Structure 1
């Protein structure tokens, strides 16, 4: 019997829906999964008709992390240098793919409906928005083996949630449910399990209404502001708006808004 593709794609309006599709393997991230994900990501990046990317999964797990049995097609690293290089260019390209997700000037939404651990959580951390169903759970099990998350687990988790919660997940090796993840800032919202997919898609439709130029500029400005001081962050705001406010669409919207206010005040 032919195995189904490890990843499925579908376009609804201007939303590219990408679904992890190895339910019998708890959506472990195989080489095929990451290759297909990479192709979908580049399609999303390069197609101006695609406005939002939604990452979801089929089955009772969102993802159990990297496929530990599938192999990476590379010989096992034997030195510290080889291990570092494997993290950078191996692991089915995870490091490069997750970085590209962060750099693309379009919003990527992750809808986590169930358990999400290890490399699956690193995938989620690389998205712009994370929505969790009430049943979702999150953890980094790497500590059980005496190592750290291999590709952005430490860096992006600390950037998003702060060192306080990074210690809880990585050093404390704790599992967190959806409500705790919301408190941590790990997810943006917790939604009911029932109709979770529909609610996540509705949020994506909401994002498609935003101006794509504003969305791209905001994504860059927010990332820069996280690393810059207050004054430099304000300079980024000024630089971004100097281009956005020359957009004819902005001028039309602001004129329409002023007219609306004027008519309501009469």
Structure 2
């Protein structure tokens, strides 16, 4: 019998067809990112990274919010900062480990998909920005409320948003303190696709299943190459492409696949 006095975990995980599904599970708190949430998320992320059978990670949420951001009432193991340098260090080392976890999400050489079905703000949006793919339901919306308090989003909110959407739209969300609905987010480049609310969860899973069919070696190399190319000029970017392919094209799976592809083309000639 389940003990009704034990609260449900802040994050649920399940494995399905090579996909690790991580579901934010504090609907009564609008999925505010607590210390428990982030600790469970980091454990799931490491298991995803270290388990060859897991090809894709899907991040989603239960309830009427995807996430209201960091849990400002959740407490911290670090003392309250009283100087500017302590605040900077708290951003880097505190905040339930967000900096460390979000950086690791970018470094893991497997795709991470975020399925956003509702409001996604503050630290929740920073979590989404750290994923490789962002899918939005039609009813989703995005914003950084930090401007209302006279501060900036500082767990990658400025840096990753600017890199993904450019300074033009970063000004709109951060300086203008505007929210973006799903359609505006698509125009901004903040999300990759907008899908109907009905069937959204199934559509997100279908996209993840599609990704599991890709070569893991190609996916990891692509993730690194794209990140590097985004920081380099075109000539150095082409060197990155060549370096990546110099390893990929020696992979037996590639050699077998290209032979099948050529044979298939020949049969159609």
| TM-score, normalised via structure 1 length | 0.99
Q: Deviations over 1:141-197 (max 9, x none)?
A: 000000000200000000000000000000000001000000000000000000100
- How many Å separate the matches in 1 of 2:153 and 2:267? 57
- How many Å separate the matches in 2 of 1:164 and 1:71? 35
How do residues 71-110 of structure 1 correspond to structure 2 at under 5 angstroms? 71-110=75-114
1:162 to 160, 166, 170: 166
Unmatched runs of 5 consecutive residues or more in structure 1: none
2:46 to 42, 47, 50: 42
- How many Å separate the matches in 2 of 1:129 and 1:109? 5
Moved over 6 A (4+): none
Note the C-alpha offset of 1:117.
0.2
1:208 to 205, 212, 220: 212
- How many Å separate the matches in 1 of 2:74 and 2:240? 44
How do residues 241-256 of structure 1 correspond to structure 2 at under 5 angstroms? 241-256=245-260
Note the C-alpha offset of 1:73.
2.1
How do residues 1-266 of structure 1 correspond to structure 2 at under 5 angstroms? 1-265=5-269
- How many Å separate the matches in 1 of 2:225 and 2:191? 20
Note the C-alpha offset of 1:29.
0.2
- How many Å separate the matches in 2 of 1:95 and 1:164? 24
| TM-score, normalised via structure 2 length | 0.98
Secondary structure of the equivalent of 2:237? helix
- How many Å separate the matches in 1 of 2:91 and 2:54? 30
- How many Å separate the matches in 2 of 1:180 and 1:122? 18
Note the C-alpha offset of 1:75.
1.2
- How many Å separate the matches in 2 of 1:8 and 1:165? 33
CA RMSD in angstroms, aligned pairs only: 0.4
- How many Å separate the matches in 1 of 2:265 and 2:151? 58
- How many Å separate the matches in 2 of 1:66 and 1:165? 23
- How many Å separate the matches in 1 of 2:267 and 2:62? 50
Secondary structure of the equivalent of 1:249? helix
Unmatched runs of 5 consecutive residues or more in structure 2: none
- How many Å separate the matches in 1 of 2:265 and 2:21? 38
